[in-house]
Each structure stands twice: as C-alpha cells, then as structure tokens.
Structure 1
C-alpha cells in the first residue's frame, strides 16, 4: 500500500503529532485519520495509475469490429467505415441460411455466395468481386474518409422473389489489426521483446494515421464552416439590399400617388 491509515481517538492526536512531523490529521466521525505519505511510494502509485490508463487505452484500441446482421436474399446491405489513407483493411464474413424445419440458422450451401463492393469517399469502386458463402476480402485505402462496404447474395440476380433469410457474420480489421504477429514472429525469427516492439511501432504508426485523418476532417470542417458563413453573410447582404430597394420603390410609388391626387 502507498498510504498507511492509522485511526486513533482524538485524545491521542496531540502527542502523536509531536512525534511525527510528516503526519497530516483529518477528522472523520469523531476520530482523526492520520495519513503518512511516502513520496517514493506516491510516485509509484501514480506510475501504476498511468500504466493502468495505458492498458485501458490499449484495450480500447484493440476492440474488435465484429458484428452480424440479417438480410433477405434480394437485399443489399451497406456499411460506412471511416479509414485513414494508406491503410490496409481486411474483412472476413460467414453466411448462415435460415432453416424452417429446425427454426435455426445453418451453414449456407456452397452454391450461395456473396458479392462484395467497396467504394472510396469519391464513390469510385475500388473492389467488386464475387465470393463464396464464406470469404475474405482485402483492400488498401488511398483516400482518407468514409468508405462504403456493400454486400449482397449472388441469388439477387437469380431469384427476384426469394424470401429466404440470411445471417451474415462480418469482421472488419483496420490498420495494425490486420497483421498476423505470430506468423511475422515465425517468419522473421523475432523474440518476444522484438515482437512486442514491432507491435508498438505498428500501433504508433496507426495512431499517427488516425491523427492525420482527424486533422484532415478538421480542415474540411473549417472550410465548410467558412463557406457557410460566407453564404450566410452574402445572403444577409442580399436581403438587406432587397429590403432597401423595396422600401425605396414603395416610397417613390406613394410619392407619385400623393402627387397625382394632389395631396402634397
């Protein structure tokens, strides 16, 4: 423990304070809580807290992006994934077919496949390919932003009125999560420490890419905000000019009306 708590009656506090100069009394429920703090132990406690926070951050970074969803055979399902530039993405999927007799999802037949189509933020198709019932697709982003990942079964073009339900398990890995570190360690003959350093370097590189992407988004947001402000300003000026022109025209019209009626 980094702090030693001593609870004593209030009557014994004065003598104890004289004997210990680094003791700070705090009153709690009629007693005084004497806390002796060691600077070195306190530093160790702060280091432990920092390490714990780092572990929480790493746990958040390593969070998976696996999910599953239900679609009909004629349905198309798309997802949006924000990806930095020059980042590898690996997607794995597995399909199951609903069986009415057993009222459960069973592995899909080999004839049932999935078509995967991926578009970059500029809506350019960077991947469009037909896969089997279980498959794996890979692509590398060249433009930062929102990438659209769409999947639909190959029966979409064959059966217009198919109503069978599919369950698709999808797992998307981005950046350093795509690396197979056990395979890398075996291939490059890395020690456990060297492998850990490799993982940390990959994580730092991915963090830098994420930061660059956030700066890119901030720049786009700033440009959009400035453009919106300019449009609002010019529209306000245009409204003011229209109002002044309308007022001047009304004044001129009323003046001509009163002069015609010989009221002025």
Structure 2
C-alpha cells in the first residue's frame, strides 16, 4: 500500500514539474511591425519555445529573445521551409524574459505565427534521485516519452495547418484560373459568331 501511495505521489510531482505557460497562441504580425511577449522565469529554469510561420510570404520571421536586462539572447531570421522553429534556454537570472516576432523587413505581407512557451521546473532533480524504485523509474520514463510525443504532436499540428493553408490557397487560384479560362472561351466564341455573321452579311450585300 505504501508503494502505491509513494508512486502516486511521484506521479503528481512529475506532472507538476513540467508546466506550460499557455496553449498554442496564434498571432498575425502586420508588415513593418513586431509583436512581443513576456514571461517571468526563475533562475535555473529551462524554457522550450516551439514556433512556426503558417501563413505569409516565404514563411519567414525575425525571431528575437531578450533577457530581463534587455540583452539579446537569440536573434535570427527564421525560414520555416529550411529551419526548425525550436529554441531552448536556461534562465541565468530571475526576471521577465521577452520574446519578439519581428516582421519589419516585410513591406506589404503580414505573417501568421503560432507558438508555445513551455517551462521546465528545475526542482525535477528532486524526483530523479538514484534511490527511486523500478516503478518510480518507469513513471519517469513514461513522463519523458509523453513529453516527446506532445512536442511531436505540436509540430505535426503546425505542419498540417501550414499544408492546409497552402492547399486552400492553391485551390482558390485554380478556381480563378478556371473562371478566366471560361470567360476567354465564351468571349472567343461570341467573337467568332459575330465575325462570321458580319462576313456573311457583307457577302449578301455585295451580291445584291
């Protein structure tokens, strides 16, 4: 009985060790502008940021991360077609860290970005002691597997959304292209009928 209670306690601690600040947030970044988000992080905690540009231009965005003092931790131009939208870092000091998605390089095209910011509690070392029994170790192994599955599911969900937007955009272009083709064919048919009628009318008038 004590082993069961101990295992349940460890499971509760494991679930509390990894806390997500929020569900996936989707934001449209207008051209010549940037959107920033703040998160208070205690010293020693590790953050995992997953992000993806799902619509707009070349699926590019300027990713920037700042520490509480305003120093730049990460600054790079991200292209979703060639780069992974993943960033991890460990807070060197407690404070409000700032994450910015900058679209100032775009003149006319807005970008739609979706992202999650997950915090990993440094106190997890408490439950990773060498004194854990086999059941507790199995719980930790399952927890790590679930974390990995969750990350992969988020990536697949972002990719599916991007592909769906691309498909809908392509379908819209095909529809408009078909409408233009129909309009051109009807115009050519009407033009040919008008030309033939005029040609026969001229022949008739010349015979009379």
TM-score (norm 2): 0.47
Larger radius of gyration: 1
| Larger strand proportion of the pair | 1
TM-score (norm 1): 0.38
Higher relative contact order, structure no. (Cα contacts within 8 Å, ≥ 6 residues apart): 2
